[in-house]
Structure 1
Amino acid sequence: MDGFVLSRPDHSVVTRGVRRSFGSSDAATHALSAGTTKLIVGALPFDPAAATALYEPAEATIASRPWQPRDPQTLPTTRVDREIPSSSEHLRRVEKLIGRLRSGEIDKVVAARTVELRTQTPISPTALAARMTALNPVANTFAVDLSAAGAEFEGHSLVGATPEVLVSRRGRVVTCRPLAGTTKRSADSEQDREAGESLLRSTKNLAEHAFVTAWIREVLQPMCSDLSVPATPELTNTHEVWHLASPIRGTLRNDTTALDLAMALHPTPALCGTPTDAALKVIRETEEPRRFYGGAVGWCDDAGDGDWVVAIRCAEISADGLSAWASAGGGIVAESDPQDELDETSTKLRTLLTALGAETLD
């Protein structure tokens, strides 16, 4: 694809073509502050040290309605070719991480794994985005060309339907809605209700969520004249899982842009861990590079307004469309159970696997 889509339930941003790319988020923010560009779109990688995929589009449409593709295409049948790492290796990694957590080295860390998918005919990024919009109408659907990140990503796309907004800015008002703490949903309505209520009482999940909200408060407080962070989280859900969520709202002291806010908040403890630097170091040591999974996708205009969503429930699609990589992670704390953490990643991966018609993981 040669464009960008971010579709939220009440508005959308769709672009085509590239006027110029930016080698770093600093270069993009400089262009905005200098007034040499009116709009930046793209993606931030999980690892802040990696190359960004940010660019100024050639054409852009911002609409007060969700995105609707003009000519939806069919999607090929895909199959899971391999798991990176294997389920057994992921269990071993989580066990080792729990040991490091109990030693006090870190407070929380997110462990992720990936499935590689193969198909005989190309996957269209826009067709996948359209399918995910249909399956998850209240999610934030995105599709972004990653070519701006360099030769390794030339022709690659990132497509997903995320439930999590990293940050949104309109004028001086900044809002976030972090998700941390997860449990699987049930087809039985009574069991499903009990699962949600149990999540609200879960010491392990409440602690995991508290790490995230405390960190966001620490980052945003100096930037805001007032900041509202709920004392306790609320329940929210997708088709597959219940999450703990906290709606956060603040008033900015100055003209900090949506892109600046996204850079300051990313990666949050919900996708990385805490303390952030220590957790990021552990992830670099123990995992394969996450690339753009766990990063952020969004836009920022020359007024500083914009939206950035967390790049989860997504897949990176190869240039020829015959391969895709979908990732999922879970927050590990000292009380975590390795098998539960493995199961959580399998549940989260179903969003992508269902959209692509691939077999689900046990």
Structure 2
Amino acid sequence: MSSPALVRPHPVHRAADLLAAYLPGSFYYSSTTGSLLADGVHATVRAPHGTRARAAAEALDAASVLGVGDPVVVGAIGFRPDAETSLVVPAVVRRAGAPGTDGPVAATGSASWSITPRPEPEVYAEGVRRALALIDDGELGKVVLARCLELTADQPVGVPALLTRLVRLNPAAHAFAVDVSAPGDPAPRTLVGASPELLVSRRGHEVVANPLAGSLPRVADEAENRRRVAALLASAKDRAEHAHVSAQVAEVLGRFCTDLDVPEPTVIGTPTMWHLSTRITGRLARPDDPGASALALAEALHPTPAVCGVPVERARAAIAELEPEDRGYYSGLVGWTDASGDGEWVVTIRSAEVCDRTVRLFAGAGIVAGSDPAAEVVETSAKFRTLLRALGLEVSA
């Protein structure tokens, strides 16, 4: 079963041209299914948690009536129910095939950086220990704890070059750049990243979700990588963590789908990590129902235990208590939905918010019984490497 294609039968643009045409303020999204570049704002979609899909459908209907050709809603939604959102119907949309893997990698520039961990790694490890105490007391089955790096350069950060490097260095990822500027920001703010995790895609009757949970860092030695892949598949702790996620995703999609297929997990790799992965597929019972659009499915799924925990509300409360930094858009969702309800939304991980000279990036780890605080620090450090490599930094985090 395939993901929804961003590509029309005869795309008139080249993927490389769309990537080269991106400028801050545009919306860019690409994956192995295609590329999309959107510019301008025909309408802004504002609605509270749980009603965004309906508001998006109404905005798409209104755009169609006003003659907007092939309207889509694009943007991002933050982690918390009351978090920021940036959803719009753009004025112009261009599509192309998937980005190639042989294009030029933009230079990183010559910026000098200062890096501030928020919190310090030892404070994060103490937060993991506090989370384990909640798990031992039976309050939680799992909680995902994140930490932040704040990077400050001696010159403005070039978002187009950063996006290009993310696309080229992570060819299998879902790459994105979204304007998430808000009142009070000292300069335009852009959410940019290369997520490996598909929250949900929809094409007609077909639905696909690909939750990831249970991870180990990737290393240079291929023999050691093979050992780590085998260890993930054999790990009772990691498989239990993954089962929390895949079961919840299957339960939610089961409300909308027939013929749901939930296979045994496999291991997928990114340039920096190995992840347990389950590709869940299903067939929508009522694809014409506006309540079964790609965005509606994404709202129903978010937040999965891959970024929050089990049970959800207690995990959210623990995150608010144990994480000193507001996640913002990190571990939310980013993507697109069209007037037919088709679309693709991914989990906002391996991402950063860029504002002038400042880059804020987050990484999280799933805490379950048996988690080791020091190992979770190592895991989050490895997850930072996607953005750090794209920025030209190879540092210990």
2:111–2:153: 8 Å Cα contact kept in structure 1?
yes
Does the alignment pair 1:315 with 2:352? Answer: yes
Secondary structure of 1:133's match?
A: helix
- 1:222 is matched with 255
| Aligned-partner residue type, residue 245 of structure 1 | S
Secondary structure of 2:255's match?
A: helix
Q: TM-score normalised to the size of structure 2? A: 0.86
Deviation at 1:118, TM superposition (A): 0.9
Deviation at 1:214, TM superposition (A): 0.7
Deviates more, 1:60-69 or 1:352-361: 60-69
- 2:14 is matched with none
Q: TM-score normalised to the size of structure 1? A: 0.94
- Which residue of the other structure, out of 5, 27, 38, is the alignment partner of 1:4? 27
Deviates more, 1:64-73 or 1:96-105: 64-73
2:34–2:98: 8 Å Cα contact kept in structure 1?
yes
Does the alignment pair 1:356 with 2:388? Answer: no
Does the alignment pair 1:112 with 2:135? Answer: no
Percent of aligned positions that are identical:
42
Secondary structure of 2:91's match?
A: strand
Q: Unaligned stretches of 5+ in structure 1?
A: none
Within 1, Cα distance between the matches of 2:105 and 2:139?
A: 52
Greater share of residues in strand: 1
Within 1, Cα distance between the matches of 2:43 and 2:107?
A: 29
Q: 1:12 to 1:78 in 2, by over 3 A?
A: farther
Deviates more, 1:1-10 or 1:60-69: 60-69
1:75–1:128: 8 Å Cα contact kept in structure 2?
no
Deviation at 1:358, TM superposition (A): 2.4
Q: Unaligned stretches of 5+ in structure 2?
A: 1-23, 64-70
Within 1, Cα distance between the matches of 2:191 and 2:395?
A: 20
Q: Within 5 Å, which residues of 2 pair with 1:234-253?
A: 234-253=266-285
Q: Within 5 Å, which residues of 2 pair with 1:266-277?
A: 266-277=302-313
1:8–1:66: 8 Å Cα contact kept in structure 2?
yes
1:108–1:275: 8 Å Cα contact kept in structure 2?
yes
- 1:264 is matched with 300
Secondary structure of 2:213's match?
A: strand
1:258–1:308: 8 Å Cα contact kept in structure 2?
yes
Deviations 1:124-148 (A, max 9, x none): 222111011111111111101013x
Deviation at 1:31, TM superposition (A): 4.1
Deviations 1:245-265 (A, max 9, x none): 000001111131001011111
1:212–1:268: 8 Å Cα contact kept in structure 2?
yes
- 1:338 is matched with 373
- 2:173 is matched with 139
1:211–1:269: 8 Å Cα contact kept in structure 2?
yes
Within 2, Cα distance between the matches of 1:21 and 1:351?
A: 31
- 1:95 is matched with 129
- Which residue of the other structure, out of 43, 56, 62, is the alignment partner of 1:36? 62
Deviation at 1:304, TM superposition (A): 0.4
Q: 1:78 to 1:179 in 2, by over 3 A?
A: farther
RMSD, aligned CA: 2.0
Within 2, Cα distance between the matches of 1:310 and 1:47?
A: 13
- Which residue of the other structure, out of 298, 311, 314, is the alignment partner of 2:335? 298
1:98–1:334: 8 Å Cα contact kept in structure 2?
yes
- 1:183 is matched with 216
- 2:3 is matched with none
Q: 1:67 to 1:21 in 2, by over 3 A?
A: farther
Deviation at 1:72, TM superposition (A): 5.6
